[in-house]
Structure 1
């Protein structure tokens, strides 16, 4: 007798004895039953998440609106500081983190990631008036801002050690770092390539990319779900929706709307 048949026989036997057998938890079934998906994101991370005149918008919202429709549930969007998102997910304050989270080997061990939604390779931003900074190595001895607790911070730290030292200043949000760069209190800001490209596109009089902007390993952004058996069906449903939207052109259209260009993304979750 196989283990599966043995388990079925045991469950049937318990039922015959009048013993109540609890149903296995299934996050997707629970979401469909309540008709909503509780999400968390930091709404200060343009062009993925932002608030315009009190209204939440951005690439993340457009993507997840479409994914939620495919799943058959209404998304509930919550503005949560980045540093509170992963802890909140673990204690089930929400179903999913839709803030763009960089896939890293360490995080893969603890969380379940969806298919990538965008490139997350770390890059450097300077003031438009500062033409002396051209390549990543030029930040040696300079003061560089970065959002705290991010994969971009870790890559900046490692790169700084490699080139002989960088004065790193951490910020709660990228907007705070951009403001200090514009005010001359920073020499540069490190962040993901699409975020910085969008900022330069919208504020070219204030900011500019380094001539060679990126450094470190190529990485991707994705959404994060709890890594347990309950959540497996939910992750599969999201990935199925994303693949469908990729194949019918919706992902490309949303990328072009918010990033100005589209990129081919992995059809499997990167493992490193």
Structure 2
């Protein structure tokens, strides 16, 4: 029997916290003056979509939002003189929320892809990431994608990991199990219902470094991804300009490196 007791506890807690944040997503806000629905951007207050089940970029501790994405967008907003309010949601719901106008921008470890560019405008990249394959620490059978023939891999719906898995399923002969959030995906492996999962490298590297989760990354990174801050295509050019200007200021004065290195040592890009 695999010893995943801490993994189960660690990510179950994240899952519970994430679920609570999502349940309260219609009213739970932070970071802006006053309360209200998206559309308050006319008063200089923008609603920011985040996925709070995604440490070290976004997570919640004691009712407070924390993480690289959270601190970056707060610092950008402060430098550019606008206010923000956070709206937590499942990652898969972020693009629809931008299309519906219920959020004004999104910072959620979102990879910049050509497909997403058809719907969204992205800021300059703020982080170099990349996907990685993850197995249990005692798994000696899986070292590369070629070893996944006949296996089951878990992925999170709506992500580039999910897209990668779908596009390469026939090539490598594995089956795919889809989940709405990272904790559920991790627990699938812990429970022995999946042989591996695909996750963004900085996310799983952070989790493994914090505690002995009895997990390991295997092989080379599966791709080269860059994260960007997103707004609806053609709708928020002025805001996007402010975001890019603020991001550059943070890089120039060292604030960017301070934020990233607080969560992932020597991983800032």
Aligned partner of 2:198 in structure 1 is 190
Of residues 76-85 and 234-243 in structure 1, the stretch that sits farther from structure 2 once superposed is 76-85
How far 1:170 moved relative to its partner? Answer: 0.4
- Which aligned pairs between 1:110-259 and structure 2 lie closer than 5 A? 110-163=119-172, 165-210=173-218, 212-215=219-222, 217-228=223-234, 230-259=235-264
Over aligned residues, Cα RMSD in angstroms? 1.6
Aligned partner of 1:4 in structure 2 is none
User: Is the 8 Å Cα contact of residues 145 and 186 (structure 1) preserved in structure 2?
Assistant: yes
Structure 2: which 5+ residue stretches go unaligned? 1-39
Instruction: Tell me which structure has the larger Cα radius of gyration.
Output: 1
- Which aligned pairs between 1:67-78 and structure 2 lie closer than 5 A? 67-78=76-87
Structure 1: which 5+ residue stretches go unaligned? 1-29, 265-272
1:198 is paired with a residue whose SS is: helix
Question: CA deviation digits over 1:77-97, x for unaligned, max 9?
Answer: 111122221111112111101
Question: CA deviation digits over 1:41-66, x for unaligned, max 9?
Answer: 11101111111233211111111110
Aligned partner of 2:14 in structure 1 is none
- The separation in 1 between residues aligned to 2:89 and 2:181, in whole angstroms, is 11
Q: How many residues align?
A: 230
Aligned partner of 2:51 in structure 1 is 42
Question: CA deviation digits over 1:138-184, x for unaligned, max 9?
Answer: 22221110101111111122233322x11110000011111121222
TM-score, scaled to structure 2: 0.81
Aligned partner of 2:117 in structure 1 is 108
Give 4+ residue runs of structure 1 displaced > 4 Å after superposition: none
User: Is the 8 Å Cα contact of residues 136 and 214 (structure 1) preserved in structure 2?
Assistant: no
- The separation in 2 between residues aligned to 1:137 and 1:251, in whole angstroms, is 38
- The separation in 1 between residues aligned to 2:190 and 2:239, in whole angstroms, is 42
TM-score, scaled to structure 1: 0.80
How far 1:213 moved relative to its partner? Answer: 4.0
Question: CA deviation digits over 1:81-129, x for unaligned, max 9?
Answer: 2222111111211110111211111111221011112223111111122
